Amino acid sequence: MITALTADYRSAGFEVLERLATVSADSLARFAQQRPEVRGGVLLATCNRFEAYLDTDGDPASIEALIDFATSTAGVDRDLLAGAAVHREELEVAGHLFAVSSGLESLVVGEAEIAGQVSRALETARSLGTTTPALERLFQRASRTSSAVQQHTMVGTAGRNIVRLALDLAGSRFTDWPTTGVLLIGTGTYARATLAALRERGVEEIAVYSPSGRAVRFAQREGVVAVTRAELPYRLALADLVISCSIASAPILDADMLRRARAVVAEPARQLVVDLGMPRNIEPDVGLLPDVALLDLETIGLHAPLPELQATDDARALIAEAVEEYGADQRATAASPAVVAYRAHVFDLVDRELERLRRRGESTEAVERAMRHLAGVLVHTPSARARDLASAGQAERFADAVETLYGIVPATSDEQAATRTDTTLAG
């Protein structure tokens, strides 16, 4: 069973999400390894959401254990998280993930970054060995659905990502972008998106600082100025606009640090500091300094357009269609182990009879062709019937019949996928 525990900026708030950002894919992998009922897991953690997807044997204790794990790891009150998080199962999980991957559940509807974040979450789980065939099918279908939404609807072009919305809000303070001095803190995905958005507005004076020491390589690749730790106070003082989008786990800038930096120059300019980090990169007290304004994710969220204004009916219809197809695939997959076991049983009987004939020294070439053809004919109709039952959500009827008639207990879909790559319902 696929189950998920999800919390986003609407249900949990940014303070809780900040703490949940300390939960890593590695720690979720350790959690899965310690729980016998959990086959695997994928963690999707972004600045707007915390989502843990599990493949379990259906034991409801797994979700309670997941809540305990998340609260202890992040230092969040258990009742607070339990009240803010949403528990989903099966097709509800699929519908949610497909909408998330398509950008319909983001702070800014249609943001471009989320599809890549979903793909990277799966890749990380693969590298940690925590994916399962069921999770692979779910996340791969989510990626295909996201691509379809982007290609066939206006969500991607109508929606603005977080970076562009932040710069739109900043535009009320900066009327002449080409003369605006910008200090960019961070060198990751949001930093590249921010740099592209700044250049679209004609910004020319851009310097970059990296708490992890990656500024030089980023600056060389992107054609901007790298800032060392020693140069940071001076660059902070000169910048009209400071944008921080680092993945640092602790705040990079506070009021005392910025106050001392601004004292480096005789007449520091009025500044806007934009914090796109999660956890937050900038302490809130920065906004209390004279001539300094702070724009953080929470404030940006208050100005984000209502999802209903941008999430088109076409996008929702595509997602609903994808969920229906995914459900049909899941139902067919449910019958596959019994079909495979039945086919294996029949063809094993054929192999044993052929081996008996060989031991007797009888010619088997023509006989083998005839027997294998007959076996194929015999299994075709039951296999087709199994497919029909699966489509109707009654796959267990075929499995029960196979067990009753032949004493065959099929392997699960996951066990089957671990040893075979081609399991179909074809006769």
**Catalytic positions:** 47
Residue 286 burial (10 A CB sphere; 0-12, 13-18, 19+):
buried
DSSP3 helix / strand / coil % (the chain, rounded to 5)? 60, 15, 30
Sequence-distant (≥ 6) Cβ neighbours of residue 87 within 8 angstroms = 3, 4, 5, 63
- Smallest CA-to-CA distance from 45 within 120, 130, 112, 105 is with 120
d(C-alpha 318, C-alpha 101), whole Å: 13
| 11 dihedral zone (left: phi>0; alpha: psi -120 to 50; beta) | alpha
Closest CA to 47 of 133, 124, 106: 106
Those residues with Cβ within 8 angstroms of residue 21's Cβ, 6 or more apart along the chain or in another chain:
45, 47, 50, 74, 249, 278, 279
d(CA 200, CA 334): 50
Q: How many CB atoms lie within 10 A of CB 189?
A: 15
Q: What is the C-alpha separation between 252 and 275, in angstroms, rounded?
A: 10
In whole angstroms, what is the distance from residue 184 CA to residue 218 CA? 11
The set of residues, in sequence order, having a beta carbon less than 8 Å from that of 36 and lying 6+ positions away, is: none
Beta strands in 232-358 (DSSP E): 241-244, 271-275, 292-296
DSSP H/E element including 14: helix 13-20
Between the two ends of the chain, the Cα-to-Cα distance in Å is 27
Q: What is the DSSP letter of 178?
A: G
